[in-house]
Amino acid sequence: MSGKTTIKGGNPSQYVKLNVGGCLHYTTIGTLTKHDTMLRAMFSGRMEVLTDSDGWILIDRCGKHFGTILNFLRDGSVSLPETSKELAELLAEAKYYCIAELAESCTKALSKKDKVEQEPKCGVPLITSLKEEELLITSTTKPAIKLLINRHNNKYSYTSASDDNLLKNIELFDKLALWFSARVLFLKDVISTSEICCWVFYGHGKKVSEVCCTSIVYATDKKHTKVECPEARIYEETLNILLYEKSNAPDQDLMQATSTRAAVSGMSYTSDEEEERSGTTYIP
C-alpha cells in the first residue's frame, strides 16, 4: 500500500529502491547519506518519504540525471555533460537536492562554455597592404587561401548573374573558413586592383595556384564582365592545399593524379541557356 513513511537511520549497506520520475534506481542508504544534502535528510529520518504499493520510494523529479547525482554522492566527482542544455538541467537537480559542490562545478562549466561560445569561431584578416599580406603568409606555418574581391574594379558592365555569383564566392569562402580555420589561414583582399574575383592558394609561404572567377563576354553592343563561382575547382584546390600542412612539400605525382585542372582549364562556365537569354557570345 502506498503512503508516507519515515526511514530511520539504519545500516549504511542497506539497499533502497528509488523511483525518480519513472526512472528506477537501486542504491544504499550509505550512498544517499554520505554528503550533507536533502537526500541525507530524506533517508536519515528527518523527512517523510512517499512509497508505492511495491515499496519503491517515489521522488517527484525528472530522473534523467539522477544516475549522475548518485555517482557524485558515491565518488565525490563526476564527468559533466557536454552540452549547455544538459549542464543547466544537472545544475537544477543539484540545487534541488542541495548538493552544493556539484552545483558549483556545473555553474563554472556553464560560465566557461558561455565564454567559449561568445568567442568567434574563426578570424579572417582583412588585408590592407601588400606588405601586410606578405608578412601574414610567410610568418604562418599553415597553408593559406586568399579571396580577392573588388566589385568596383571593372571598366565593363557586369552580366546579369555576376552579382549573385560574386556573393556565392564570398559565401563559399566564409563556409570554408569555418570548416578549416584550424588548419588553413584565410585572408580577404579588398584593396587589390588587379582582379575582380580571384582565389589564391599558398603553401609554405609561396603561391601554389589560383582560380580566377572572371571572364569577358561580348554582346552585340559592348563588352561585359562575367563573374562565375566554379565551386568544384575551388574545393579541389582547397583539398590540395591541405597537403602543404606537412613540413615537406607534397608529392607532385600525387598532386597531378588528383588534379582535374588540365581537364577544366579550357572549359567555359557560360551555360547555353544564359547565352540564349543575353544574346552573348563567349570569347575565351
Which domains, and CATH codes, for the chain? 3-118 (3.30.710.10), 126-282 (3.40.30.10)
**Is residue 212 a contact partner of residue 195, using CB atoms and an 8 Å limit?**
yes
User: 163-178 b/e with 16+ CB inside 10 Å = b?
Assistant: eebbebbeebbeebbe
DSSP state of 161: T
Neighbours of 92 (CB within 10 A): 15
Phi, psi at residue 116, to the nearest 5°?
-65, -40
Cα 246 to Cα 203: distance, rounded to the nearest angstrom: 10
Q: Would strands 197-203 and 144-149 be described as parallel, antiparallel, or unpaired? A: antiparallel
pLDDT recorded at residue 63 = 94
Q: What is the pLDDT along the chain (284 residues), one digit of tens a residue?
A: 567 777 765 688 889 999 999 999 999 999 999 999 999 988 887 888 889 988 899 999 999 999 999 999 999 999 999 899 999 999 999 999 999 999 999 999 998 887 765 555 667 888 888 888 888 888 888 999 999 988 776 666 777 788 888 899 999 999 999 899 889 999 998 877 778 899 999 999 899 999 999 888 776 667 778 889 999 999 999 999 999 887 666 666 655 665 554 444 444 444 444 444 444 444 44
Which three cell numbers mark 135?
608578412
Return the pLDDT at 144: 94
> For residue 64, what pLDDT is reported?
94
For the beta sheet containing 48-51, the strands, ordered from the edge strand earlier in sequence to the opposite edge, are 3-6, 48-51, 57-59, 15-20, 23-28
Residue 90, pLDDT score: 96
The pLDDT score that the predictor gives to residue 117 is: 59
pLDDT of residue 223: 78
Residues comprising the chain, all counted = 284
| Amino acid symbol at 166 | L
Pull the grid cell for residue 138. Answer: 610567410
**pTM, 2 dp:** 0.49
Determine the pLDDT at residue 270.
43
